[in-house]
Structure 1
Amino acid sequence: MDDNETYPIGDVARRTGLSVSAIRYYSDAGVIAPTHVTEAGYRLYDVRAIARLELIRTLRDLDAGLDDIRRLLGGETSLHDLLATHLELVERQERDLRARRAVLRTLVKQGGTAAKVALMRKLVSMPDEERERLIDDFWNEVGENLDVPPGFVERLRTMRPRLPEDPTAAQLEAWIELADLVRGEEFRGAVRSWLQDTYGTFPGRRLADAPVWDFIHQEGMEIGKEVLEAYRSGLPADSPRSRELVVGMADATAGALAGGRSTAESRERLATAFLMVEEIQRSDAEENARYDATHGRYLSLVAVINGTPPDTGDDGPALFAWIAAALRASAR
């Protein structure tokens, strides 16, 4: 194309992909004027005008407004600033659409009245301070006069949702469900009842003591990962590596709880304890379902919201049986 040559509007339309009527509209709106208008009224455009029309088309495809484009072409703003501003707008719209989608999906699943629609929308748009207050109110009521070891409820309270600034639809849906649950008296009572029954008596009460709880959820978690990897790799329970891992686990447990090292006898007792847990998990479907519907549901939703989905626990009883076998092999 010759820089000085001008082209009729039909040619410009073919080169830019814009319709003739769109080019005329932009001209009449003062966005881009033709390079020359003949005496007969034909509009002609040079290559610079065509380049601007191509830019206009691109920006309009990105939903930029005519006023913003006019300011850009008039030198009142830069392309970078225009794009940055528009990106911010699009991202806000995207977040709002994700929120709407989360509300709609939840309402479709649960069924919704007008009041439910308003509630769901409120839960999604809650400021951080109000979310924190809602979770604090939940734990205040659940933990009031709960007969468990000192500080246990405060440790549970630290496991709370932190909705990110730019949440996914799944995170929003999880937050809506969790917020709706923790507001309800029935769910609060069910969680309170499960915690009392589980951690108010032996052996749960022992597990809820601060030193034991901290060990399980800190050092014990790291050791547990190695044991789980060995189990999932198909390593035989009586292999030297398996025995090494469970002895390390038993030693760490003994050190944390009794200040010593494990013995063959203590590892045998620990193996028996793991087999008891395995039997409970296999046979007590009702208790497992109760956990899944109460504190387990709270924790699983918090994990989704925080972007750290928990292990599904599918290994369950088989893993405990493997650990028990490895412990007994180490005790022989």
Structure 2
Amino acid sequence: MATVTDDQLYPIGDVARRTGLSVSAIRFYADEGVIEPTAHTDAGYRLYDVAAIARLELVRTLRDLGAGLDDIRGVLKDEMSLRELASAHLDVVEGQMRTLKARRAVLHTIVNQNSDARQVSLLHDLVNMSDDARDRLLDDFWTEVTGGLPIHPGYQEHLRRTRPVLPEEPTAEQLQAWIALADMVGDAEFRASVRHFYRQAFATPRSDELTSPQMVARSEEHSAISLEAWKAERAGTTPESPEARELAERLLRSTGLMSAEMTGQSMDEEQWADLRGLLSEPEANPEVTRFVEGFTADFGGVFEPFFALLATINDVPLEELWNTGPSDAWVAAALRAGG
């Protein structure tokens, strides 16, 4: 096939072979004002230049993707360079890909859950939710599970920031995780379990202080240190190393400061010594160990599936959202190594 050049005009038969369109289709698009011929021969035969051929190829692709003539006219109504035409073509293809990913996520969920007709409609609505609608769904969840609890208003705002953020082009896995998360937060049994957990956790006269912005900041700082120590242990850092000893001391200090915030009393030297002994010899304090393990298990039983889905949607490592910190044995050995 001869090379197409910018200054050459081609008869409709050549254009049909180059574009894959039938001659009748090319005539139809001309008659409908979609792509008109560039020129005509003296005998009235239609001729097309390279730009018109490119537009016809785009029309063919758009039609293959299901675009109607009105949509195609909207793309072609202004003069465009070939680069602009390619960009318009890419926008359509990417839009189709996003739609197909959403459909794939719905179909996977239908197959896995054996969904009924009512659920299918709900799943379709979920994957096509706007960012604002997703925010409202999570806001409603946090409002219900914390409503009426004796906690600081700032803590409720802190919880509301724990939400999924779908990227502009989510993967099928992220869409499926969002469907599962939306189903989870809408489930009455899950809401009741979360509400029960918070009622038990904050069944204290000082619940407002324990959920104050200062306490939240202290807790987030402690979580960051715990995550850092967890990563160090996972990377094989020995408890006797300077890095481990420094992390253990930071954990000790952070634990003491959190305890002071919770009790409303400063730590004296004796209490710091007791805390060091508790963390250095956890096996000597089984009651405390069982309490901590029990609280962690209760929290994990309620929230771990939630955070696992959230991590997938937000494309972050699960340990950044859900992490129990380094092992007691690693921290204890590091503290003992530091003397």
* 1:1-332 equivalent positions in 2, closer than 5 A: 16=18, 18-19=19-20, 22-23=22-23, 25-27=25-27, 29-30=29-30, 31=35, 33=37, 49=49, 52-54=52-54, 56-57=56-57, 60-61=60-61, 63=63, 76-79=78-81, 82-146=85-149, 152-198=155-201, 200=203, 211-217=214-220, 219-255=221-257, 257=260, 258=266, 265-272=274-281, 288=297, 291-311=299-319, 319-330=327-338, 332=339
Q: CA deviation at 1:162?
A: 3.5
Q: Distance in 1 between matches of 2:153 and 2:74?
A: 65
TM-score normalised per structure 2: 0.70
Equivalent AA in structure 1 for residue 222 of structure 2: G
Equivalent AA in structure 1 for residue 334 of structure 2: A
Equivalent AA in structure 2 for residue 270 of structure 1: L
Kept in 2: contact 1:71–1:77 (CA 8 A): no
Q: CA deviation at 1:265?
A: 4.8
Q: CA deviation at 1:237?
A: 0.7
Equivalent AA in structure 2 for residue 296 of structure 1: E
Equivalent AA in structure 1 for residue 315 of structure 2: G
Distance 1:273 1:6, change over 3 A: same
Q: What secondary structure is seen at the aligned counterpart in 2 of 1:123?
A: helix
Q: What secondary structure is seen at the aligned counterpart in 2 of 1:243?
A: helix
Q: CA deviation at 1:115?
A: 1.0
Distance 1:302 1:255, change over 3 A: same
Q: CA deviation at 1:11?
A: 6.0
Q: Unaligned 5+ residue runs, structure 2?
A: 261-265
Q: Distance in 1 between matches of 2:120 and 2:332?
A: 51
Q: Distance in 2 between matches of 1:233 and 1:246?
A: 16
Q: CA deviation at 1:114?
A: 1.0
Q: CA deviation at 1:243?
A: 1.2
Give the % identical residues.
36
Q: CA deviation at 1:142?
A: 1.8
Q: What secondary structure is seen at the aligned counterpart in 2 of 1:112?
A: coil
Q: Distance in 1 between matches of 2:132 and 2:323?
A: 38
Structure 1 stretch displaced more, 258-267 or 130-139: 258-267
Kept in 2: contact 1:300–1:310 (CA 8 A): yes
Q: Unaligned 5+ residue runs, structure 1?
A: none
Distance 1:214 1:97, change over 3 A: same
Q: Distance in 2 between matches of 1:161 and 1:91?
A: 23
Q: CA deviation at 1:276?
A: 6.0
Aligned length: 319
Kept in 1: contact 2:123–2:179 (CA 8 A): yes
Q: Distance in 2 between matches of 1:244 and 1:211?
A: 24
Distance 1:89 1:280, change over 3 A: farther
Distance 1:129 1:166, change over 3 A: same
Q: Distance in 2 between matches of 1:161 and 1:180?
A: 13
TM-score normalised per structure 1: 0.71
Q: Distance in 2 between matches of 1:25 and 1:51?
A: 18
Kept in 1: contact 2:165–2:314 (CA 8 A): yes
Q: Which residue of 1 aligns with 2:263?
A: none
Distance 1:251 1:292, change over 3 A: closer
Structure 1 stretch displaced more, 264-273 or 63-72: 63-72
